[in-house]
């Protein structure tokens, strides 16, 4: 990281007005406009001098000789880090947020709604990473015999989440055998941590007779798979199509890359992952994220908590030229709200 260039207050204010103006209407901003808009009673000529300095520092650039200036990625960076004044959301708006998310008791639906909310409030794409369950507690397990040596395992964890999976076995089991195994696991381990169960079952195995043995192995196998799938992260997107309306995405090819990335999820997850461990809000501007597909795009994220523990990340993705001052509080409030609603359940 290069340290922030040292620029005086006047230059800062001018950069700020320039970026605000550019965010507003997407046109390069010239010295005349800036001298009028900055509220500082400077002549355009003076502004031009300052601009030349800013350009030297790589904070703005001119698309061509006689156009106004446009912020660079570094410019945006300085802007969001030091210059941005975020107005808190109007109370009435917060009410609307609350109304939107209130009284949804299915966590999945809640997350879906939150993503939708982010998207519709910002008119960009909203995304919410699924909460990663901290400790997975076994609540109930059930085995059902299927044809062809297959067993359907149903597993209820953490009070409401139901997982199910088909497992191939070496021999076929009767209903009662499976029932027995399930009973054993339920009575012995209900309420316990799934990872703990695994090791315990392995320990118990030696004491149990052989064909039981095999069912236990199944259980362990099952537990493994469940732990794995609950740890592989995923997210929910809404409003990707909103992004199509932005002029800077005019390029179909770029658009396509972006959509591909959204669908593959790989890159996005990586970005989200970066910010799950960060304390508060994170902003990735343009290629800062490290992925070419996000050229001209910024991602604003915030982790959200469940019982004081960070369990996921949410945010929006939109053009670099987004209204950060409005997007930031929206993301912030949504994260807090989602957290408190998830906790209160």
Partner DNA sequence: CTTGGCACTCTATGCTGACGAGTGCTAACC
Partner DNA sequence: GGTTAGCACTCGTCAGCATAGAGTGCCAAG
Distance CA 343, CA 53 (A): 50
259 binds, among a second copy, DNA, none (CB under 5 to 8 A by kind): a second copy
Q: Is 159 in the site for a second copy (CB under 8 A)?
A: yes
- Which C-beta is closer to DNA: that of 12 or that of 46? 46
- Alpha helices by DSSP H, the chain: 9-25, 31-37, 44-56, 73-78, 91-101, 107-122, 175-189, 194-204, 210-231, 252-264, 266-276, 324-344
Torsion of CA 87, 310, 299, 315, to 10 degrees: -70
Residue 56: CB atoms within 10 A of its CB come to 10
119 binds, among DNA, a second copy, none (CB under 5 to 8 A by kind): none
Q: Is 252 in the site for a second copy (CB under 8 A)?
A: yes
Q: Is 140 in the site for a second copy (CB under 8 A)?
A: yes
In the block, tokens 């970026």 appear at 19
Q: Is 21 in the site for DNA (CB under 7 A)?
A: no
Q: Of 224, 237, 216, 255, which Cα lies nearest the Cα of 115? A: 237
- Which C-beta is closer to a second copy: that of 108 or that of 273? 108
Stretch 257-316 residues interacting with a second copy (CB under 8 A): 259-260, 263
- In angstroms, what is the minimal distance from the CB of 50 to DNA? 8
DSSP 193: B
188 binds, among DNA, a second copy, none (CB under 5 to 8 A by kind): none
Contact criterion met (CB below 8 Å) for 318 and 125: yes
Distance CA 157, CA 258 (A): 35
Q: Is 166 in the site for DNA (CB under 7 A)?
A: no
147 binds, among DNA, a second copy, none (CB under 5 to 8 A by kind): a second copy
Which of 14, 59, 68, 242 is the binder for DNA (CB under 7 A)?
68
Contact criterion met (CB below 8 Å) for 114 and 129: no
With a CB cutoff of 8 Å and minimum separation 6, the contacts of 15 are 7, 54, 59, 60, 71, 75, 78, 79, 83
Region binding DNA by CB under 7 A among candidate stretches 60-68, 125-133, 153-161, 291-299: 60-68
- Which C-beta is closer to DNA: that of 14 or that of 124? 14
Tokens found for residue 4? 């922030």
Distance CA 67, CA 87 (A): 31
- Which C-beta is closer to DNA: that of 32 or that of 150? 32
- Which C-beta is closer to a second copy: that of 52 or that of 162? 162
Binding site for DNA (CB under 7 A): 10, 28-33, 41-46, 48-49, 51-52, 55, 62, 64-69
Binding site for a second copy (CB under 8 A): 105-106, 139-140, 142, 144, 146-147, 152, 154, 156, 159-160, 162, 164, 166, 240-241, 244-245, 249-250, 252-253, 255-256, 259-260, 263
């Amino acid at each position: 990281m290069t340290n922030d260039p040292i620029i005086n207050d006047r230059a800062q204010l001018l950069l700020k007005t320039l970026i605000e103006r550019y965010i507003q209407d997407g046109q390069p901003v010239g010295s005349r406009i800036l001298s009028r808009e900055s509220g500082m009673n400077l002549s355009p000529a003076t502004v031009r001098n300052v601009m030349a300095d800013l350009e030297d520092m790589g904070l703005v650039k001119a698309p061509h000789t006689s156009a106004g200036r446009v912020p660079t990625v570094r410019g945006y960076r300085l802007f969001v880090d030091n210059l941005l004044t975020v107005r808190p959301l109007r109370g009435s708006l917060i009410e609307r947020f609350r109304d939107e998310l209130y009284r949804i008791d299915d966590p999945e639906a809640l997350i879906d709604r939150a993503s939708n909310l982010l998207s519709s409030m910002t008119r960009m794409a909203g995304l919410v990473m699924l909460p990663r369950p901290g400790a997975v507690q076994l609540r109930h397990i059930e085995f059902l015999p299927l044809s062809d040596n297959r067993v359907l395992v149903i597993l209820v964890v953490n009070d409401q989440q139901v997982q199910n999976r088909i497992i191939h076995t070496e021999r076929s089991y009767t209903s009662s055998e499976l029932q027995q195994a399930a009973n054993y696991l339920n009575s012995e381990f209900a309420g316990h941590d799934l990872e703990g169960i695994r090791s315990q079952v392995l320990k118990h195995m030696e004491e149990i007779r052989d064909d039981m043995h095999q069912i236990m192995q199944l259980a362990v196998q099952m537990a493994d798979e469940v732990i794995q799938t609950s740890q592989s992260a995923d997210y929910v997107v809404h409003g990707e199509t909103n992004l199509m309306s932005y002029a800077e995405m005019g390029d179909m090819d770029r658009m396509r890359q972006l959509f591909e990335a959204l669908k593959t999820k790989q890159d996005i997850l990586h970005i989200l992952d970066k910010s799950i461990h960060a304390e508060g809000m994170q902003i990735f501007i343009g290629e800062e994220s490290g992925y070419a597909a996000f050229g001209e795009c910024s991602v604003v994220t915030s982790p959200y908590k469940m019982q004081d523990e960070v369990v996921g990340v949410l945010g929006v993705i939109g053009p670099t030229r987004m209204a950060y001052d409005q997007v930031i509080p929206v993301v912030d409030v949504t994260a807090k709200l989602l957290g408190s609603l998830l906790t209160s359940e």
